[in-house]
Amino acid sequence: MSCGCKLSVRNQVLGLPDGLRPRFLSGLTSAELASVLTRARHRRFHAASAIISQDDTADRLFLLTSGHGRHFVITRDGHRILLQWLTAGQIFGGAAILSTPSQYLASTEVLSESCALEWERPTIRTLVSAHPALLDNAFSIAVTENIAWSTAAHVSLSIDDASGRVAHLLLSLASAIGESTPDGVVMRVGHVDLAEGAGVARETVTRCLQKWQGAGILAKLRSKIVLKKPELLLAARRD
């Protein structure tokens, strides 16, 4: 696969895919950006690959340049809980930036063929010291993206019924990983993904999707959902 990254014959990273503007790298001059990119390792991952694992030593930082994935945790009793989704331009493994060695708090996997840039902990720590904007950007991302997502998830769990949580998750996924087509927004997610992400039973997801398909709001395909009328989804959950 080709992610659009600009690489030398020796696979050294020379530039990002056209149009990709990661927040983590914002505010850097062209020379500073080149310095950061050339210290990265270019990685390719097959779909359904686990990249980092919960509780492992946080020794690498990643920037996804193509594809999409998600974060998740495994509880003590073995339950899998989905966290936020991951799209091109986002970083993960941010604990590697911390001055005190730590562990990853969650696992991260990619769901499609994906590429990422990887910096080992000593390297990214050196780069952060040389380019303070990187640390500012990482802190900004943690506050405005990660905490905001966590807050929204907790609010949904507190005030929405099961149908509402599935509806909100579908809208979030449409925004994050949806592909616009003439038929609607296509999301490559299944019943299990939605059940785990919304914290409801799989039967509940099936019942909701059947109702919304009957109303013409979405269409269910194999391993895909086409959201045709997202503006009607939240209203329909109350019917």
Q: Tens of pLDDT along 114-167?
A: 999 999 999 999 999 999 999 999 998 887 766 666 665 666 666 678 888 888
Q: What pLDDT shows up at residue 155?
A: 62
Helix (H) or strand (E) holding 50, with range, is strand 49-52
Q: Examine the domain organization and report whether 38 and 106 are in the same domain.
A: yes
Banded pLDDT at 190 (limits 50, 70, 90): confident
Q: Examine the domain organization and report whether 24 and 114 are in the same domain.
A: yes
Q: What pLDDT shows up at residue 237?
A: 63
Q: Examine the domain organization and report whether 128 and 189 are in the same domain.
A: no
* Closest by Cα among 115, 109, 43 to 71: 109
Q: Examine the domain organization and report whether 29 and 105 are in the same domain.
A: yes
Q: What average pLDDT is seen over the chain?
A: 89
Q: Examine the domain organization and report whether 22 and 38 are in the same domain.
A: yes
Q: Examine the domain organization and report whether 133 and 193 are in the same domain.
A: no
Q: Examine the domain organization and report whether 145 and 211 are in the same domain.
A: no
Q: What is the pTM of this model?
A: 0.79
Q: Mark which of 98, 125, 152 sits at the end of a domain.
A: 152
Q: Examine the domain organization and report whether 211 and 120 are in the same domain.
A: no
* Closest by Cα among 66, 165, 149 to 110: 66
CATH code of the domain containing 211: 1.10.10.10
| DSSP character string of 108-175 | EEESSSEEEEEEEHHHHHHHHHH-HHHHHHHHHHIIIIIIHHHHHHHHHHHH--HHHHHHHHHHHHHH
* Closest by Cα among 56, 132, 41, 58 to 97: 58
Give how far Cα 111 sits from Cα of 45, 108, 120, Å: 10, 10, 23
Q: Examine the domain organization and report whether 49 and 65 are in the same domain.
A: yes
CB-facing half-sphere around the CA of 11: CA atoms within 13 A: 10
Q: Which residue(s) pair with 114 in the sheet?
A: 45
More confident residue, 195 or 118: 118
Q: Examine the domain organization and report whether 97 and 176 are in the same domain.
A: no
| Domain of 54, in residue numbers | 6-152
Banded pLDDT at 1 (limits 50, 70, 90): low
Q: Examine the domain organization and report whether 205 and 133 are in the same domain.
A: no
Q: What pLDDT shows up at residue 83?
A: 83
- The total number of structural domains that make up the chain: 2
Q: What pLDDT shows up at residue 157?
A: 66
Q: What pLDDT shows up at residue 149?
A: 62
In a domain, 1, yes or no: no
Report whether pLDDT(15) > 90.
yes
Report phi then psi at 128, rounded to 5: -65, -40
For the four alpha carbons of 172, 85, 71 and 200, in that order, the dihedral sign comes to: positive
Q: Mark which of 152, 169, 203 sits at the end of a domain.
A: 152
In a domain, 87, yes or no: yes
